[in-house]
Amino acid sequence: MKSHNTYVKVRYAETDQMGVVHHGNYADYLEIARLDWLDTLGVSYRSMEKEGVMLPVYELHFKFLKSAMFDDQLKIVTKLKKIPSVKIEFDYEIYNQDEELLTTANTVLVFMDTHSRKPIRCPEYVLNKLKG
């Protein structure tokens, strides 16, 4: 499925006194990568929200293999797991500048109507971008 690489440099504020990235920052890294993936596809999350569609996180899973450190240049590989329906699922791999695999992750998000807060199907224009 569609895969995209996003690059993030670890900031000092994201680390503890030992220079290790705090685990809570990884959710932010995935969000940065997901939005970048959508932008590359030609879909603006801001436009989706203006059209009444939001994508809250339903599931979030991490496997931490090795620590990311202050000043590391992270490569986040974002892969769409399958064609979305009501849910959209991504797998991620996070590497450092030495191409060491640090973390694997998975998210499931749900397409929801902004006003009713009820699940809806993936917008047709997103599906068209994935097929095109």
16 belongs to the catalytic site: yes
Within 6-106, residue ranges assigned H as helices are 25-41, 45-50
pLDDT digits (tens, 9 = 90+) for 1-40: 689 999 999 999 999 999 999 999 999 999 999 999 999 9
Which one is catalytic: 16, 28, 39, 71? 16
> Looking at residue 79, what is its pLDDT?
98
Picking from 94, 83, 69, the residue whose alpha carbon sits closest to that of residue 6 is 94
| Superfamily for domain range 3-131 | Hotdog Thioesterase (3.10.129.10)
Q: Collapsing DSSP states into helix, strand and coil, what is residue 50?
A: helix
pLDDT digits (tens, 9 = 90+) for 88-114: 999 999 999 999 999 999 999 999 999
